[in-house]
Structure 1
Amino acid sequence: MPDADPIPSSATERAGLRADCGNCFGLCCVALTLTASADFAVDKEAGTPCSHLRDDFRCGIHTRLRSAGFPGCTVYDCFGAGQKVSQHTYGGRDWRREPDTAGQMFQVFPVMRQLHELLWYLTESLGLPAAAPLHPQLRASLETTEDLTLSPPGDLAELDVSAHREQIAALLLRTSELVRAAGHPRKKRSHRGADLIGARLRGADLRGADLRGAFLIAADLRGADLRQADVIGADFRDTELSGADLTDALFLTQAQLNAAKGNAATRIPGSLVRPSHWSDGRRAGPA
């Protein structure tokens, strides 16, 4: 173990990595492109405010987004980038009162979002005892990434965030390999990037599995065991997770849970919140 205590992954340490819409200038409702689909009812170009965005930067249909044809909005998670850009990077100056900031602000927001997502993964990694050999590198990467989030707007707009993300990705992969090898020494078949759309995996033992970037759209994972499975980048849209165990799934995010289907019997990490649209039924185990 390193001399310094690992950064814990408690709610306190991750508070700044959770969306606080009340302190954001509705950036996800303006800066992002929307494409008419099952996720969004309309097309909207980046930089154009959503027609439902109110003058106070709140959503006018927040309580009925899904029924109004905007389930994609309920899935999206900025990892706290919205309030960081609004209140820190631009010091509370909003794009409506100071329109000259708009273009750059909308360019900075997706960069900040990627940096905050990396902070989420790095913070989680530093709370994993099996990854102790990598803690010094993880800590250094976290500090570097935090420093980048504090950069002036112009520097953030020009940041090659893809290159930085690639460096972190290699470290997160090594972290995953250490943790999964320690908990599940028997090597399992890799499902990295696999097409598992609609796959029937009810009750499957996926402990310690490599599901990085897997397409699990509409897959049946009811009652499946995904403890310590690496799910970074996995597509969980309409994935059935009722009764599944994701207690310590690696690199699981709120957005992935929001995109999936589950119920009260689905076990999730304590750092995440059970989506409000999940059912309350508890019958979900293996057939």
Structure 2
Amino acid sequence: MNLYEIIKNNKHTLGKHEKAFSPLWKKISNFGYYANNNSNYLKLEKFATPETIDFLFMCIDEYNQTKRVWSEHHDSRVLDIVWHVLAFSDEMRINNYFESIVDENIQNINIFLQNFHDIGQKYKSKYFLYEKIQKYYDEKVIPHMASTKLCENLNLQTPEYYYFSFIVSTDGEWIYTNYDTDEERKNRYCLNVSVYGKNPRIYNESYSISFYNKAKKHEDKVDISFRDGQDIDKNCFIYGGKNCVSIPNLLDLSSFISELESNYKIKLNFEKIAYISTVKGVKRKTISDWVKRRFVFV
């Protein structure tokens, strides 16, 4: 049973307080609602009443009894909403509960650290979580991230948090439209690379790579994606993998490109980069020059 179902099945126990809980339940039931933006989370404070805190903590306790292992699906959206409401409480039991999750994620595998890194920044009383996670990131994760080493190899100066992405395709285009013929969709292959820096994601990921076309016929469709992290086997998805490729290395993409072009009998267009995006503070030219060199460092 997931957290959504646990809350649904138990909200009647709120008794006379169920009516006050109803607006929060509507947000939880809205699968397009997320708590992790600045406008949404502030609106949750009015729900942080003693009765709601007790109820949500009871539901969390029941959820924890399901004994999910790290590889299993978690009700992450509802968890994040509940955590954002609980974070308005200064109760020691809440702080201890949050810290236990952070400690477990640091010791085992990073699934929820990003959530609590965010909460620690937003809530003054939870800043201790941010400090603990940031110390772990700074000492144990960031120095070893592929994105960190890539920026060192490129002599690329970056802001505290950075992100950049690009797409290289066979024809220099990346947008598929309804006017494309089946042949065009089949023959346009795209390589999409996204790099995240100084803000590790789930499993301490620092980049993702995907290679695909948009062929309509099942037998022609290709969709391969990779993410780095602590468990590379779970971070690889291959559809249409009859021409299998090895797991890419962000620091040696040139070899991966040669393998793709050979296996799929294509030629990617590095003269006309189909798409490139960088945040402020990251030199776009440095990235584009590296891409045009087919990922060779100088």
TM-score with structure 1 setting the length: 0.30
- Higher-Rg structure is 2
TM-score with structure 2 setting the length: 0.29
More strand by share: 2
More relative contact order in 1 or in 2 (CA 8 Å, sep 6+)? Answer: 2
